[in-house]
């Protein structure tokens, strides 16, 4: 099934608002089936759902929702352990974004894959055990032009995963 990625609406969503947004996803699924559309929606864990409590509530209340898991955001923004997060949301995940970052004196900064502290070596076996699931490198040079070019990131990612 092909998916269309959508975002959750921002960090300001309260738990109830976030669940309402998720319920609209479920309505889309019903409309998609009724209309015979060949695409479904996946919500990215970018802002509000990067918070572990909201993500857990989301998958509990909306078990049919498809998730694009931004594994870095749930760790860096939400403080969640990626392995614990994976175990709690794995049945809902249809795509995974990964990137790396390092905590410095002036805050967290994106770095080339393998040069930060994202635990890819620990997470990768869990993803591989789940069977075929798309994993993509999310390279944010467009927003962080201090990052090296994409070709360097891709070379680094080869040894990272």
| Domains recognised in the chain with CATH numbers | 3-160 (3.20.20.150)
- Degrees, nearest 5: CA angle 48-5-87: 60
Helix (H, G, I), strand (E, B) or coil at 3: strand
Give the burial string for 27-37 (b: 16+ CB within 10 Å, else e): ebbeeeeeeee
Single pTM value for the model: 0.85
Tens digit of pLDDT per residue, the chain (161 long)?
788 887 765 665 555 666 676 677 778 778 888 888 888 888 888 766 677 777 887 788 788 788 999 999 888 876 788 888 888 889 999 999 999 999 899 989 999 999 999 999 999 999 999 888 999 999 999 999 999 999 999 999 998 87
């Amino acid at each position: 099934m092909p998916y269309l990625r959508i975002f959750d609406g921002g960090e300001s969503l309260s738990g109830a608002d976030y669940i309402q947004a998720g319920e609209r996803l479920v309505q889309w699924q019903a409309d998609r089936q009724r209309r015979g559309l060949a695409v479904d929606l996946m919500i990215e864990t970018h802002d509000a759902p990067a918070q572990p409590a909201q993500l857990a509530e989301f998958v509990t209340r909306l078990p049919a929702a498809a998730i694009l898991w931004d594994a870095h955001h749930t760790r860096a923004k939400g403080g969640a352990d990626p392995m614990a997060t994976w175990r709690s949301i794995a049945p809902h995940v249809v795509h995974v974004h990964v990137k790396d970052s390092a905590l410095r004196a002036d805050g967290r900064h994106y770095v080339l894959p393998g040069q930060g502290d994202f635990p890819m070596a620990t997470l990768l076996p869990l993803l591989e055990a789940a069977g075929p699931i798309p994993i993509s490198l999310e390279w944010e040079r467009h927003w962080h032009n201090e990052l090296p070019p994409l070709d360097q990131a891709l070379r680094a990612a080869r040894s990272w995963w």
